[in-house]
A and B are shown apart, each in its own frame.
Chain A
């Protein structure tokens, strides 16, 4: 029976009935990373240094050495990333259950609101409005906050002002609601963190990190192409690198979308 499902799935992929959308930014040295106060530890940005390129250091081959922090580019946050998830079982990227790496997604489109207000916050009321139209968020779903922030670049993307970053995200109450009442598997954003730029001033500070990881759930950030996903029905494939005791990792995030018109 399982064989039939997978064969049908493979056939749908081959025919284009299922479209694969890449939700990943290219890992490049210029992509902004999270900035901490300078006296604290910093995430290393992505760097690539050549080992050889068909030259004296390697006549027939091209390869590079890479360096980057776990939380660089489009990346995955494991529960161990936050203190609230530090004592949970299977809380690091190497112990993450593989079945959690494939899950459905609900996409809440707040791009119009975020365009008007860089500090836009997703609230329970916004989720209620979405559910009224698309149905209740199923348990173990990803909730992805679409803001179209991924279309910005450089300074506009980081949007750092003298009082810190100004980027949209969830408020504390909606995170409590999504994790507790809707049992989401994780929360994803297009910005540098799962939390809003000013979330350090919320109560608790960084509520997305606080509640998600405290309940053993996951985060995805710096996502792209959320505008190509339906409000519901897409399936997300997000497998971080298997780093021993890793708190997160850059990864390739794919979305499987069924083409309604050809179906």
Chain B
């Protein structure tokens, strides 16, 4: 039985903050097929195109028939525990701080046997398990086994929490309270057990409808935050930078224009200022302190979420500036990811199709309801994902990009 995570005490100011350590990071090029799957929450292993056998670990040729046709393919997630090893002592600096650590040898239903990280509620040898690929603290894919059925407080398992970014007892900053997703996110975060939700709002002198709804949520505090102002961001970071364990960047600026319009440069500059430059300003102010707090107790800094348009992956002319701005954000997020990884803090990109909001009024359905986006982000945090695709449009573009990016460019760009 998993011990429920105790509510963390306030930080003892006399005790040194632990510096983040990371698990071993080296992987082969092939093994990043597992990283790709883990990032999106899929369970994929190599499956031989010739003989059809699954194989693990990742390799260049099929161990059964020596075929080099060994693509990654979705695999059944079941397995049986063959043996369990509880590691009490290790020389590895990261795992030393997490002793004891459970691992097990599992025979996967699809064939191969693998050494996996074992959830505390898994039974002894012979028990059925459910496998997943998880990104560990250094962002590399590992196999993780959980019991087939839910157990009480199973999300609080210490090994599982190392693989996820659960909001429980963590303090969250939503950067743009005027975003249509802010209220839904704040509600979902409180429901997920977040200790506190700071919601940034720019230009408080401009009234907005959702303010009352935000203020009505217990544990929500509205703070001044203007993503276009370096000073505003830095001042907030001075106040609460060391209290933010999850940052959700909801910045957006949708202003349709045509590439050849006289004012398009201004529209683009404003969009870039709010989104790409805003992300960079946020990274400068909140990145260093979050990275340094990746091991600050059981509820240390753990995730940075960017809400991005899926059109950042392939430009849609109707929202050309918006697409370009989000493409810039995507590039910056990869840079940020490599920086925050050193502190064990994961960067999650939630790619969404058009939201069911005023700026996408003329776009035909399917559109994404703010609550659906908020729920997908919660799911991503709780499962420790890195790439989330929300809504039919985003999922469709993801699948087609995987297949043929040039075709997507032609089709979306029409």
Contacts and interface: CB of A to CB of B under 8 A. Distances in A.
A47 B230 CA distance: 8
Nearest to B263: A41
Contacts of A29: 226, 229, 231-232
Interface string B218-254: 0000000010111110000000000000000000000
A157 B203 CA distance: 12
B28 interface: no
Contacts of B203: 32
Interface stretch (B84-92, B154-162, B204-212): B204-212
A263 interface: no
A30 to B, nearest CB: 8
Contact of A39 (B205, B206, B230, B255): B255
Given A39-B255, A41-B263, A41-B266, A160 B206 contact: yes
B231 A155 contact: no
Contacts of A50: 230
Contacts of B228: 45, 47
B356 interface: no
A48 B232 CA distance: 11
A55 interface: no
Nearest to B226: A29
Interface string A40-62: 01101101111000000000000
Nearest to B253: A38
A120 to B, nearest CB: 20
A32 B205 CA distance: 7
A160 B207 contact: yes
Contacts of B230: 47, 49-50
A155 B226 CA distance: 15
Nearest to B229: A29
Contact of A42 (B207, B232, B270): B270
Contact of A48 (B226, B231, B270): B231
Interface string A140-162: 00000000000000110110110
A154 B205 contact: yes
Nearest to B230: A49
A43 B398 CA distance: 37
Given A41-B263, A41-B266, A42-B270, A35 B206 contact: yes
A166 B178 CA distance: 22
A38 B229 CA distance: 19
Nearest to A32: B205
Contacts of B267: 41
B296 to A, nearest CB: 29
Interface in B251-279: 255, 263, 266-267, 270
A51 to B, nearest CB: 12
Given A29-B226, A45-B228, A155 B204 contact: yes
Contacts of A38: 255
Contacts of A154: 204-205
Nearest to A48: B231
A60 B206 CA distance: 40
B274 to A, nearest CB: 11
B263 A155 contact: no
A157 B229 contact: no
Interface of B: 203-207, 226, 228-232, 255, 263, 266-267, 270
14 contacts: A29-B229, A29-B232, A38-B255, A41-B267, A45-B228, A47-B230, A49-B230, A155-B204, A155-B205, A155-B207, A158-B206, A160-B205, A160-B206, A160-B207
Given A29-B232, A47-B228, 10 more contacts: A32-B203, A41-B263, A41-B266, A42-B270, A44-B270, A45-B228, A50-B230, A158-B205, A158-B206, A160-B205
